[in-house]
Structure 1
Amino acid sequence: MKTAAIMLGEGFEPVEAVGPADVLRRGGVEVTLVSVMGQLEVRAAQGVGVRADALEGDVDLGGFDLLVVPGGSLGVENLAACAALVDELRARMADSRLVASICAGPTILADLGLLECRRAVCYPGCQDGFPAGAYQEGVDVCVDGNLVTATGPGTALDFGVACLRALAGDAVADGVAADMLIAR
């Protein structure tokens, strides 16, 4: 069974974590919501409370097939402050292992210098730190090899389908998208 870790930092965009988690789980992926906050209860943006499945210090981030970084300004700040996550993002990008990020999340990758010679998207206006040529204007979900990025809350389900496609293939992703009435 394929596995995915969705990282949660206080202030994350709830739909950008829960939407992809739902899509991935429907596709047979074992999803673990991982808190970087030292407690399982994580307060998302808009005051939404979410209970993570595990704490960052209790899991091996390298053991997951996919690592997902949701957005939300404060959430991204909290995720970027997690040394274990930063180290894992560097390792995954160096080894071409699956990384997915949405909204302001890709700014972490840009700040780490991990978007050089890559194509990616983010929430409009957050691309200022992207290297020249990386930002793909007018694209909602961008897949570049091992990297899946998306623009924001409204693209969370399409982002989830792209993540599922990267993990489980076209047939599984297309089936889940059809069952969820996600337009293609």
Structure 2
Amino acid sequence: MARVVLILADGFEEVEAMAVVDVLRRAEIEVLIAGLHQGPVTSARKVKVIPDTVVDSIRVEDFDMLVLPGGQPGSDHLNADRRVRDLIRDFHDKGKLIGAICAAPYVLADAGILDGRRVTSYPSYRDKLGAALYEEKTVVEDGNILTSRGPGTALCFGLAIVRRMIGKQKAEQIREAMLAPQVCE
């Protein structure tokens, strides 16, 4: 079974996190939610989520993909945490999949893994992506990195991850069952 770890920090964007978790679990991908610390993590709009684990317990070899939802100040908290930066680099060095949506692609840029890569993000974060090659698309895949634009693209982002990890047929089944727009294809 494919395994994904999604890291939450206080101030995360709830649609970006929960839509992705929902879509991946519908595809029978195991998703572990990790917090930066013990206890509940509070979203940008004060929704509390109890993570399954803490970031300190993540072992790269146990997962196929790392996903970072955006939101503010959640993305800033992820970016300020050395453990997150180290995990990003470890996942990247091992050729594992890495996904980031909305503001979170700038965390990947600051970790030094986006130079020369095609990416997208929330429009106001375009200038924070260093030497990445910005595209105004719903989801951009370049090698092992998948990025997406924001809350409104979260469902498409989750489906792109399913397509990449499980296959096009499963992604299409889920898209149809969820009545997701054709644009997610």
Question: TM (normalized to structure 1)?
Answer: 0.94
| Gap regions ≥5 residues in structure 1 | none
Residue aligning to 1:87: 86
What amino acid sits opposite 1:163 in the alignment?
Answer: I
Given that 1:19 and 1:160 are in contact with CA atoms closer than 8 Å, whether structure 2 keeps it comes out as: yes
Q: CA deviation at 1:107?
A: 0.3
CA deviation vs aligned residue, 1:45-87 (integer Å, no higher than 9, x gap): 1111111111112332442111000101211111122222211
The one of 164, 170, 176 equivalent to 2:168 is 170
**2:172 matched to 1:179?**
no
TM-fit CA distance, 1:132: 4.4
* Runs of 4+ with deviation above 4 angstroms: none
Q: For 2:25 and 2:176, locate their aligned partners in 1 and report how far apart those are by CA, in whole Å.
A: 15
Match of 1:101 in 2: 100
Taking a change above 3 Å as real, the CA distance of residues 130 and 58 of structure 1, as seen in their structure-2 partners, is closer
Matched, 1:55 2:63: no
Give TM-score, length-normalised by structure 2. Answer: 0.93
Percent of residue pairs bearing the same amino acid type:
38
Change (3 A) 1:89 1:133: closer
Uncovered stretches (5+) of structure 2, i.e. residues with no partner: none
Question: How many residues are aligned here?
Answer: 182
Q: Which moved more, 1:49-58 or 1:145-154?
A: 49-58
| Equivalent residue number for residue 26 of structure 1 | 26
- Tell me the amino acid that sits aligned with residue 5 of structure 1: V
Deviations 1:111-141 (A, max 9, x none): 222111100000011011223461102x111
Specify the code of the residue in structure 1 equivalent to 2:100: S
CA RMSD, aligned part only? 1.3
Query: Deviation of residue 30 (structure 1)?
Result: 0.5
Residue 149 of structure 1 pairs with residue 147 of structure 2: yes
Counterparts of 1:129 and 1:80, CA distance in 2: 12
Partner in structure 2 of residue 158 of structure 1: 156
Is contact 2:119–2:140 with CA below 8 Å preserved after alignment? yes
- Farther off after superposition, 112-121 or 51-60: 51-60
Distance 1:133 1:76, change over 3 A: closer
Q: Following the alignment from structure 2 to structure 1, what is the Cα–Cα distance between the partners of residues 155 and 54?
A: 25
Matched residue SS, 2:123: coil
Q: How far apart are the structure 1 equivalents of 2:81 and 2:109? A: 16
CA contact (8 A) 2:119 2:147 kept: yes
Give me the whole-angstrom Cα distance separating, in 2, the residues matched to 1:125 and 1:60.
Answer: 33
Residues in 2 aligned to 1:87 and 1:57: alpha-carbon distance in whole angstroms: 11
Give the structure 1 partner of residue 134 of structure 2.
135
